[in-house]
Amino acid sequence: RLRTKKAFVDEINKALAKSEGLTLKDLLFYWGTPYPATVCSVEMFQALENLEARRDDMLLVSYPRCGECIINCLLMKQIPSPRILATHLNYDCLPRSISKNKAKILVLFRNPKDTAVSFFHFHNSVPRVPSYSSWDEFFSEFMNGKVVWGSCFDHAVTWNKHIEDENTMIIIYEDLKENLTASVKQIAEFFGFFPTAEQIQSIADSATFQAVDNKAEETHGAVGSILFHKGKFVYILLKNLFIEAQNQEMDAKFKVCLDGVKLGIKLKYDVYCKA
């Protein structure tokens, strides 16, 4: 675990420097899922199996490009001492000690169309993951789970099975955008904190997109400007990139994987994803 913000930023910059020109074949495949080899290794995954989670650990889980950086800022502001662990892994890949010791897990989701568009931009902006020559090429790989960290839908299906676990809370990115203050209160209370109204507002103000974007380079080094990609721009790209056949393909995939289940209902697909 990196102990300081500077160590984290240095590690990110180092990974970027040594990962120019990666292709899919250069990625690490573990249990059939591709991972960025510059920040993942077989030894790391094997060590995870023996990680002893603590009861007061706080785990943030999300598929990439679902707003996890904003949530991380919220948590760092209000939690002074327990370990805050962040990962893109699905439930089945987590150390068994996390469920055994009832460490609390906050799982963040975002509507899959925005996720795909943001991830496409991320792939073509960050050298430690493969780039794609076109949106159509990326969309095909995304729908087949051949992008780094695997399938967005497999990730969601796995976590839906644990949506009612007492140590798990699901939060939706769109809900954060609509009412950040209410989300701060909800998250704080889940972790056993009860900040005042003034503290809640202060935390929310420090975690708006603009506030986080202003400190992106300081907190995340060279990759900061890429991580905090403007949501409005993603919406414009969504309208311009998805053709009708792709809209229909993702609508059908969502229906097969998540239609009618609790996570699918929370995602409000008909509100955020219908073309």
pLDDT for residue 1: 42
Which structure tokens are listed for 6?
Answer: 């500077």
Q: Which of 263, 264, 254, 3 is nearest to 113 (CA)?
A: 254
pLDDT for residue 168: 96
> Catalytic one among 88, 121, 123, 155?
88
pLDDT for residue 67: 47
pLDDT for residue 12: 54
Q: Which of 155, 138, 193 is nearest to 184 (CA)?
A: 193
Q: Which residues pair with 169 in a beta bridge?
A: 106
pLDDT for residue 2: 42
Q: Residue-wise pLDDT tens for the chain (275 aa)?
A: 444 555 555 655 565 555 555 565 667 888 788 887 777 788 888 888 888 888 888 888 988 765 444 445 555 444 455 777 888 888 988 888 998 999 999 999 999 999 999 888 887 776 656 778 899 999 999 999 988 889 999 999 999 999 999 999 999 999 988 999 999 999 999 999 899 999 999 988 887 766 555 554 554 444 445 455 554 444 445 667 899 999 999 999 999 999 999 999 999 999 988 76
pLDDT for residue 52: 85
CA–CA distance, 2 with 203 (Å, rounded to integer): 24
Q: Who's near 82: CB < 8 A, 6+ residues apart?
A: 54, 56, 57, 58
Ordered by where they begin, the domains of the chain are: 5-272 (3.40.50.300)
Note if 88 is an active site residue. yes
Q: Which of 109, 125, 117 is nearest to 234 (CA)?
A: 117
pLDDT for residue 145: 92
pLDDT for residue 86: 83
